[in-house]
Amino acid sequence: MESLPPKNITEETEILILGTAPGKVSLKVKDYYQNPSNRMKDVLDSVSEHIKEKIGFWDVFKNFESLKESSLDKNRLFGLINDFDREVFNECPKLRLIIFNGKGKKSIRLLDNFIEKYDKILKDRNIEYYYLQSTSGVNPNFSLNEWLDVLN
């Protein structure tokens, strides 16, 4: 299965929110964080328009396979990492912050593939990154305050 294209990746993008791969509902409607139970809407509704305009979205993995009828990382096999050199780093000179939407053991292990591949660019460009609790509606550890502390 192919991931979605990046969203709101421009020369004005300062913040990039990365997941592993889109959920079933998002794939169906071809837009990020569209499951009604996902709390990304709460996060975005809680920040200023000025900040919202500077946020881009994408996923670490270009393709994946679902092993079950589920959007959970533990039920997926992941393939290639997206081309962040071409799609993000060359297009977003103001990028200063990457937020990984997921802080579970498997999510961190998967997202670390991105860190390994792009570590030099992140350091050279002084781009900070954080692993935050997933906005998924099934995550009991989600904290809106954690997200807002990083975004504001």
Looking up residue 38, the CATH number of its domain turns out to be: 3.40.470.10
Would the CA dihedral through 48, 126, 90, 101 be positive or negative? negative
pTM attached to this predicted model: 0.91
Q: Is 111 contained in some domain?
A: yes
pLDDT for 72 beyond 70: no
Please report which confidence band the pLDDT of residue 74 belongs to, taking 50, 70 and 90 as the band edges.
Answer: low
pLDDT in tens, 78-97: 788 999 999 999 999 999 99
In a domain, 2, yes or no: no
Mean per-residue pLDDT of the chain:
91
* Residues 16-42: tens digit of each pLDDT: 999 888 888 999 999 999 999 999 999
What would the 3-class secondary structure string for 100-145 be? EECCCHHHHHHHHHHHHHHHHHHHHCCCEEEEECCCCCCCCCCCHH
Per-residue pLDDT for 73 more than 70? no
The whole domain housing 108 covers 15-147
